[in-house]
Amino acid sequence: MKKRIISPIIQNIKIAHGTYKMTLFAPYIASNVTPGQFVHIKIPRDSSLLLRRPISVNGVDKNNGTIDLVYRVVGKGTSLLSKLKPNELDLDLLGPLGNGYKVEENIKSLWLVGGGCGVAPLKLAAQKWSNLDITAFLGFKNKSEAYQIDDFKNLCSQVFISTDDGSLGEKGFITHILIKHISELRPKLILGCGPISMLKILKQISERYDVPCQISLEERMGCGMGGCFVCSCAIGIKDSWDYKKVCTDGPVFDSREVIFDEWP
C-alpha cells in the first residue's frame, strides 16, 4: 500500500558533478519498496513550486529504516533539494509508487544497463538480487559524473563502464559495450534505465538477440496516483497502442511494448 510519509533528512551529499544522494528516515518505504519504484517528493520552502518530484529509490537500509535517493540538479526544485541539510526539516513524500522490476525465481543471471541518472535505481536492483549472477553496464557522460561504481563492484560479478569522452572506462555509449558481449553470453533478463536514446537502442538489442528486457521510463509527472493522466507513454504494438500512465502502469515496462515512435 502507498502511504504519505513525513521523512527526516539523515544525509544529503554531492556524489558526482551535479548529482546528489539524500538519505531519508522512512522505514515503511525501506521495508516495502521494490527496485524501480519511486517516491514523490513535495519541494519544501517554495510553495510556488507546486508539483512533486518523482525520484526512484537508489538503496535501502532496512535495519536503520533509511532509503537513499540519487538525483541530478536540473531545475529550481532539485536545486532547492540539494541545499537541504540533515535534520533541517522533514520531507513530505508519497510512496512507494509505481511498478518496479520483476525478476522471476528461475532467473539466475541478470544484466543491469544504466545511463547517467538511470544508474541510480539499478543499484537497488543489484542490492535486492545480489544472490544472482549480475553483470552491470554503466554509462556516464564523463568521469566527473560517474557515481557508486564501487557499490556496483561489490554487488555484481562484473561491471563494465563507459563514458562519452573516454575519461573513465571505455569510450562510447554503454550500449556499444553491451552489444560486444551479448552474442556470446546471452543473459536471461536485462533491466534498463537511462535516457530515451539509450532505451531505444536497448529495446532494439533485446529484440534482435531475443533477450527479455524491462525498462524504466521517465516523463513529466503530476499526481503520481494515476488520476491526472499527464505522464503518458505509448504502450502496445504498432498500430494498436494506448497512452499508459508512467506513474501507475509503469514506470517499468517490458521493452517490447514501448512504442518510442510516439515520443516527440
Q: Which of 17, 27, 32, 51 binds other proteins (CB under 8 A)?
A: 51
Cβ atoms within 10 Å, residue 241: 16
What gap in Å lies between CA 264 and CA 222, rounded to an integer?
19
Q: Extract the C-alpha cell encoding 134.
A: 549480475
Task: For residue 22, list its beta bridge partners.
Answer: 12, 69
Binding mask 4-43 for other proteins (x = CB under 8 A): x-------------------------------------x-
Judged by beta carbon, residue 51 or residue 149, the one nearer other proteins is 51
Is residue 52 close enough to count as binding other proteins by CB under 8 A? yes
Cβ neighbours for 41, distance < 8 A, ≥ 6 positions apart: 52, 53, 54, 55, 69, 81, 91, 92, 93
Is residue 48 close enough to count as binding other proteins by CB under 8 A? yes
Q: Which of 15, 208, 225, 256 binds other proteins (CB under 8 A)?
A: 225
* Span of 8-16, 24-32, 46-54, 143-151 interacting with other proteins by CB under 8 A: 46-54
Is residue 106 close enough to count as binding other proteins by CB under 8 A? no
Q: Counting Cβ atoms within 10 Å, is residue 85 exposed (0-12), middle (13-18) or buried (19+)? A: exposed
Q: Contact, 96 vs 33, CB < 8 A?
A: yes
What gap in Å lies between CA 252 and CA 139, rounded to an integer?
19
Binding mask 160-199 for other proteins (x = CB under 8 A): ----------------------------------------
- Minimum CB separation from other proteins for residue 263, in Å? 7
Helix H or strand E encompassing 105: none
Judged by beta carbon, residue 95 or residue 169, the one nearer other proteins is 95
- CA 146 distance to own-chain centroid: 15
Is residue 248 close enough to count as binding other proteins by CB under 8 A? yes
Report the candidate in 193, 121, 185, 176 with the shortest Cα–Cα distance to residue 158: 185
* Span of 18-26, 55-63, 148-156, 229-237 interacting with other proteins by CB under 8 A: 229-237
Q: Which of 182, 243, 254, 255 binds other proteins (CB under 8 A)?
A: 243
Q: Which of 211, 232, 254, 257 binds other proteins (CB under 8 A)?
A: 232
What gap in Å lies between CA 40 and CA 182, rounded to an integer?
35
- Which positions touch other proteins (CB under 8 A)? 1-4, 42, 47-52, 77, 92, 94, 219-223, 225-234, 242-243, 248, 262-264
